[in-house]
Structure 1
Amino acid sequence: MVDHKHLAVLKQGVNYWNDWRQNNPDVIPDLSKVDLKGIDLKRINLRGANLSKTDFTGAYLRDADFRRANFYETLFDNANLNRTNFSVTKLSGASLNEANFMEANFIEADFSGCQFYKANFSKANFSKAKLKVDKIAKLNFTQAILIEANLSEADLRESNFCEADLRESNLSRANLEESNLSRADFSQADLSGSNLARTQALSTQFQQAILTGACLEDWNINSDTEFSNVICDYIYLRRNRRERRPSSGNFATGEFTLLFQKTLETIDLIFRDGINWDAFAYSFNRVEIANINLQLDVQSIEKKKNEIILVRVSVASDADKAKIYNDFIQGYEFAHKILEEQYEVKLKEKDILVADREGQIVKYEKQINRLLDIVVQQGSVQKALVEHPRKVSNYDLRNSLIAGGIIDAETVQSNQIGGSIQNPDTQENPS
C-alpha cells in the first residue's frame, strides 16, 4: 500500500521530491495505487519506486527516471513519456495504450504482459529489450533502435518500422503483416517463420538476415532492397504455410534473388475500404504523366480477404518505387477527398429535391382525394334526380363543386351549373 509520508513529500512538488530522494538514497518510495492522472511530474526521480497499480493516465512525465521501478499493472495510457528512462526495468502487466515514448530508453527492458496499443516508440532505444506482444498493437517504431531486441512471436501487424535499426534482432515467427519496413535495417536479424505478407520493404536492408520459412505474400520491395548473403532455404508465397518455394528441397545458390526479380518490377497498391475509381484514374494519370518514361501499367487487380483490393502496377526495374508509391497515394487521397465533398453536396441537393417532391406528392394526394369526393357527390346527385325528381332540393348539396362553381341547395343560380334548368311539372320556359 501507499506510504502516505511519501505521498505528502510528492505533493510538495518535483524539485522538493528529487531533493528528498537525493538525501534519502536508501528509501524505496511506495506510491502504489495512487491516482496521479494528468499530473505534471517532468524530470521526476522515481528510480526503484513501487508504482504497482499507480494511475498515470494522461500524465506529463517527460525526462522522468523510472529505472528498476515496480510497474505491475501500472497505467500509462495517453501519458507523455518522452525521453523517459526505463532501462533494465520490468513493465509486466503495465498499460501503455496510445502513450508517447518518443526517444525513451528501454535498454534491456522487459515488456512481458504489457498492453501498448498504438503506442509511439519513435526514436526510442530497445537494444536487448524483450517485447512480448500477444495481440495486434499497431506500434510506431519509426527510427527506433531495436538492436538485438527480442520480438519473437510478437504480433506487430500494421506497425511502422520505417528507418528503424533492427540489426541482429530476433523476429522469428513474428507477425509483421501490412507493416511499413521501408528503409529499416534487418541486417543479421532472424526473420525465420515470420509473416511479412503485404509489408512495405522499400530500400530495406536484409543483408545476412535469416528468411527461411518466412511468408512473403504480396510484399513490396524495390531495386534498393538489399538481399546480399541472405540465409534462406525456402519461403511461402501464401499465408498458413501455403505455396512453398521451392516446392521441395531448398533454394539453390542465387535462386531466391531470381524468384523475386519480377517483384522488383511491380508496385502493390492496397485498398482496404474499396476503390474510388475516379480518384484512382486521376492519380494514376497524374503519376503516369510525371513518369512518362517508366512505362507504368496496371498488371492485375485482385480481391483479397476482408474486402481488401490489391492493384499491382508494373514499372521499370530502375524506377524509384517509393516515390511513385507515395505520389500515387497522395494524389489518390487528394482526389478522393474532393470527390467525397462533391458527393456530400449532391446528396444534400438530392435530399432537398426529395423533400420538395414529397411536399408536391402530399399536395397532389389532397387534390386527388378532393376530386374523388366530387365524383362521389356527383354520382349521388344523379341518382337522386332519377329517383326523386321533385325532391332534389332536399338533398344536401351545400358547398359542393359542380362545373367549376359552388352550389348551395337553398339558393341555386343557373349560371353556376353551366346549363339550362327545366322543370317539366311547371310547363314553364325559364328563358
Structure 2
Amino acid sequence: MGVRAEAFTFARTGAFVFAFYGALSFVGTFATVAFAFAGAGALAVGGNRAFALALAFAFAFARAFGAIAIVFVSACVAWDAMKGDKKYTFVQNLAVAFAAIGGTSFRGADLTDTNFKDARLKSTDLREAKLIRTCFHKTKLLDRVRPGASYLQHSQVRQLILTGQGQDTNFNRLDLRGINLKKALLTDASFIGTDLSEACLQDADLFRVKLVQTQLDNTDFTGATLTGAYIQDWNITRETNFHGVKCEYVYMRLPTKENPNPLRKPDNNAEVFVDGDFADFIQPIFDTLDLYHNQGVDPRAIAISFKQLAESNPDAELEIVAMEKRGEDKFLLRAKTSPNADKSELSAEYFSTYNQIKGLPEREIQLLLTEKNNQIRRLENMVMTALERPSFYAQNYQNQGDMNMSGDRNINTGGGNYNEHIGRDYVQGNKVNNMTNNPGGFSVGGSVGGNVSNVQGDNNRAVQGDNNQAVQGDGNQVGIDTQAPLTKDDIVKLLEQLEVLVLKAQLPEETKQEVSEDISAAKKATNKDEPKKNIALANLENVAQTLEKTNKTVDAGQKLWSQAKPIITKIAGWLGAAAGSYLLKL
C-alpha cells in the first residue's frame, strides 16, 4: 500500500508538471497554426492561393513537430523537478502545492516536540508551523510536503533529519532553529554562522564540528560529544544546556593560513577535560556588572569604591569574577550581581564614589583606609596585579564577613575573553592555597576567602604603606649592619642572601624553584629606578609563607626558617609593610 500510495502521489504531482508544460506547448502550437493560416489567407487575397496554402501547411507542420518536442521536454522537466533539481524549484513548488490540495494541513500549528517518526506525510501543508524539536526521523514523503520558509525547504537538511547522517556536510548560514538532531552523526560537519537556537542535539556526535559564530540560545547539548569542536565566537546563553556533555578538548579559533594556531583548551596537549569539567569551563556568567575604567586607573580608588558599593547594596550580591587590563591604560572590573539588580544605578553609584576618591588628598584617603585596611589592600593588590599582567584574572575572591566576592570561573584566551574554571585546589581557613600567575595565564581552583596569602608569579602586587624603617632581627647575623639605614642595594643583597640560603637547604626541588622565582621577582621589582615596593612585598610574603609551611613539614626547613626570618623582616620594613602585618609579626 505504501509503495502504491507513493507512486500515486508522484504520478499526480508529475502529471501537474507535465500538464503545465503541455498546456504551454498546446497554446503555443495552436497560436502558431492560426497565425500560419491567417498569413496564408492574406497571401491568397493577394492572388497566389496555391503558394499560400503550401506555405501554411509547411509552417503548421513544422510548428506541430516542435510542439511534440516541447511535450517531450516538459516530461523531462517534470521528472527532474520531482527529483529535486534546483533548476526547477519553482516548478516543483507549484506541483507540490497542486498535489497538497485536499491533503493534511498543519499550517500555523504548534508542532513543538511532535513525533512524526515513520509517519507518511502525504501532501502535508507545514507552512508557518512551529517546528521546535519536531522529530521527522525516517518520515516518508517528506520531500512532498509544503515546507514554507522552514528548514524543511532544504534537501540536504531533509536528508539529515531523515537519516541522522550529516558527517562532513556543509550547513553554513542556514536557519535551523528548533531542528531535532538527537543522536545525529555530525562528525566534521560545518555550522558556521548557522542558527541552531532551540535545537535538540542530545547525544549527537559533534566531533570536530565547526560551531563558529553559531547561534545556540536554548540549544540542548545533553550527552553530546563535543571533543575537537571549533567554538570561535559561538553565541551561547544561560539557557544553553551542556549537562552531561562529553568533551576532552576544544579549539577556541578556526585556523587559517595567516593564523594557524587553533588555541586548544586545555592549553597542554597532554591534558584533557575530565567528565563535567567542560560545562564548568564554558558556561559563561551573564548577570554581570562591567565597570570599565578608560583613563587614569587608580587601583586604590577602585578597591575603596567597590567595597563601599558592596556594603551599600547588599541585595545586589556583588561578586568579583574578573579583572582585565584593556589596551595600555584601561581596566575592566567585572562583578556578578543578583538577577534583579539595577546595573545602571550600581554603575553610576560606583563611578561617583570612584571619581570623588580620586580627587581626595592623600591624608583623607589614609583615613578611609584606617577602618578596614586589610580588605581594601587585598583588593587593591589584585587590581594592580591585573594591570601588571594582562593575563591575570581575579577568581573566587571572597572577603569573609564584609562583602561576598566569590565567583565560579574566569577565562582569558589571549585572543578573546572567556569564562573558565580549571583546578580543584581547596581553601583552608582564610588563605588561598593555590593561586598561580604565570606567562601562560591564570589558574585558580576552589574558593578564595579572607586573606589572599599564596600568590605566585612575577607580577603580583600588594600595595602597602610607605613607612620605610629598618626592623631589628632576632639576633641572627644577616651580613648587613642592622643599625644603618638600608638602601635599595642593601635590600637587593639581602634578597640574594636569602636566595642562597634557600638553594643550599635540603628542600624539595619544587619548593626551591617556587621560592626562588618569588625572590627573583622581588629583586626585579626592587632593583628598578623607582622600586615597585608593592610588587616586591607581595612576592616576599609568598616566600615567607612557603618557608613557614616548610618549617612544619621538612626537618631542614626549621633551620632555614630561623635564618630567613630576620632577613625577611628587614626587607619587609624597608618595603613599607603595614604595622601589624603578617611579615612584621614573624
Q: TM-score, normalised by structure 1?
A: 0.37
More helix by share: 2
